[in-house]
Amino acid sequence: DMTTPDTAVSCPIAPELRAWLLRVLQKYGMFAVDAELVVTRLAEGERRGWPGAGFALLGELVTAFESGDIDPRARTLKPLDLPAFAVM
């Protein structure tokens, strides 16, 4: 489970950077608790040197939010919703 504290990798970042990243994610509608998790995972990717998994990924996330490819509130969108049938 990637959300439990015991699996989190400590990667301290400047408080100003953390605050800015949280503001950006929340500006696009992400819940505060989800934004905290994303910032933690971006910091983990940065610390571990994973290509494309660190802070550089923020631009791709913002682009996906703006294009509608990712719902920042993680809601499932149902294009068809009938009493006995739903397409997801």
**Tens-place pLDDT, residues 6-20:** 455 556 789 999 999
Residue 46 has pLDDT above 60, yes or no: yes
Tokens 């996906």 found at? 64
> Higher model confidence: residue 17 or residue 73?
17
**Global pTM exceeds 0.85:** no
Question: What's the CA gap between 58 and 67, in Å, rounded?
Answer: 14
**Confidence band for 85, pLDDT divided at 50, 70 and 90:** low
**Confidence band for 88, pLDDT divided at 50, 70 and 90:** low
- Name the residue among 51, 35, 47 with its Cα closest to residue 10: 47
* Mean predicted confidence (pLDDT) in 24-46: 93
Question: What's the CA gap between 55 and 14, in Å, rounded?
Answer: 13
